[in-house]
Amino acid sequence: MNKQVICIVCPKGCKVTVSKQDGVYTTTGNACIRGNVYGIQEATEPKRVLTTTVKINGASIPRCPVVSSAPILKDDLFKVISLLEAVELTAPVHINQVICANVLGSGIDMIAAKTMEKKHDL
Ligand code: SF4
């Protein structure tokens, strides 16, 4: 099995080839060990930082941007997005406030990416 990935750990963007032989993963094309770790992770259990929005009441706009505290398994991204559809916040919300803790038992939190003040009617 061979899989090609572009390492995104630094701007150099090495083209990394991940190979598996007898259950052992190896990489070529990476200029440093970080590309080895990234390439094997990407080939076996790809993860992504999730950025999305959730509903918020009482703020000047109806959606609050949120971000995962760490990369989430790519296979779980839509499950987390579904879970967040049921979340309804009330302003004020502060940046880095935990919006949804330990999503899917992953140990990863969804946190507010922006402070959303309470809207004051004039
Ligand atoms: S392998 Fe190393 S040098 Fe190449 S892009 Fe990844 S982090 Fe940068």
Distance from the alpha carbon of residue 32 to the mean position of ligand 1, in angstroms? 6
**pLDDT score at 122:** 56
pLDDT higher than 90, residue 100: yes
Q: How far apart are CA 14 and CA 70, in angstroms?
A: 23
Pocket of ligand 1 (CB under 6 A): 7, 9-10, 12-14, 30-32, 34-35
Asked whether the beta carbons of 89 and 64 are under 8 A apart, the reply is yes
Calculated CA dihedral for residues 42, 17, 27, 78, nearest 10 degrees: 0
The CATH code that applies to domain 51-112 is 3.10.530.10
Cite the residue boundaries of each domain of the chain with CATH code 3.10.530.10: 51-112
pLDDT higher than 80, residue 85: yes
Closest Cα partner for 111 from 102, 121, 95, 98? 98
**pLDDT score at 73:** 96
The minimum-distance atom of ligand 1 relative to the CA of 9 is: 7
Ligand 1: residue of 28, 30, 36 to mutate (most ligand atoms within 8 A of CB) is 30
Distance from the alpha carbon of residue 71 to the mean position of ligand 1, in angstroms? 19
* This prediction's pTM: 0.83
